[in-house]
Amino acid sequence: ETARTTSQRDSIPLHTDATSWGGMIFRQKPLIKGESGIPSRSTKNMSHLRFREYYRRRLPHIQSAGSTYFVTFRLINSLPKEALEKLAEESERIKKLSPDQIDLAQRRWFGKFDDFLDRVLCGEVFLKNEQVADLVAEALHYRDGKVYTLEAFTVMPNHGHLVCTPLEKENGEFNSLAEILQSLKRHTARQSNLILSRSGAFWQDESYDHIVRDQAELERIIKYVLYNPVKAGLIDDWKKWKWSYCRYEM
């Protein structure tokens, strides 16, 4: 895969259909409303990975054509059993909530999930290796304009955050998030294991994904993604983190 610079300061030129909103520059394209997701499991059966408007994993989940997604993917064994049990209990509780309660509950769930990852409670931190982090960042850039429009990302020591909009294929179907993540994980796992002289599972199968509902939420999520290294105590200025990218000027 062709490498590109991974600096968040290397943002693309602004389009003529762009608009300034809340201190960031956004392309004027509709973001389709949809329900939020709680972690979903990928599957090796590619027939299940094709784009579907509705699919069920741990919780009901909507895949909406043309939507922008916020995705968090993590390394194998990056969360301890106790943390996983707490998150699973919370997921079960969320199932029983009324629709007007779910959004806030899911945001709180994700806050706990990401905090556990930032604290590096267990597991390896393979992404601390600069070659591996570079590889993952380059793979995220490589898919920009091919299977998705890349909005933003950050590669952390044991997980990554991605904001992207899957693109439409020639046959009129959209690239599914499951297909995108399987391809990304398969390639980066294989190459990372070579760099690290190891074998075996690299990424955890499940990933967190959430449909971005509007430009206000897009701004909030992108800021969260870029400031994650600061929140985790890795740096004091988000611009100093080498493995972040934002499509928009901040």
Backbone angles phi, psi at 62, to 5 degrees: -110, 130
- Is the Cβ–Cβ distance between 11 and 149 less than 8 Å? no
pLDDT of residue 63: 55
pLDDT of residue 163: 98
Both structure tokens of 4: 């590109």
Long-range contacts of 100-104 (CB under 8 A, 24+ apart): 102/35, 102/36, 103/36
pLDDT of residue 2: 45
Taking every pair of C-alpha atoms in the chain, what is the biggest distance, in angstroms?
Answer: 50
pLDDT of residue 8: 39
pLDDT of residue 55: 39
Residue type, 217: E
- Is the Cβ–Cβ distance between 164 and 148 less than 8 Å? yes
Helices (H) and strands (E) in the chain, counts: 5, 9
- What's the rounded Cα separation, in Å, for the pair 47 and 60? 19
Q: What is the pLDDT along the chain (250 residues), one digit of tens a residue?
A: 544 444 433 333 322 233 333 334 333 333 333 333 334 333 334 344 454 444 344 433 445 667 999 999 999 999 999 998 998 998 899 889 888 888 888 888 888 988 999 998 899 999 999 999 999 999 999 999 999 999 999 999 999 999 999 999 999 899 999 999 999 999 999 999 999 999 999 999 989 999 999 999 999 999 999 999 999 999 999 999 999 999 988 7
How far from chain centre, in Å, is Cα 22? Answer: 22
Residue type, 14: L
Domains of the chain: 18-246 (3.30.70.1290)
128's CB contacts (< 8 A; 6+ apart) are 157
* pTM recorded for the entire structure: 0.74
Strands (E), 123-231: 148-155, 159-166, 203-212
Both structure tokens of 157: 């020591």
Task: Collapse the DSSP code of 215 into the 3-class scheme (helix H, G, I; strand E, B; otherwise coil) and give the result.
Answer: helix
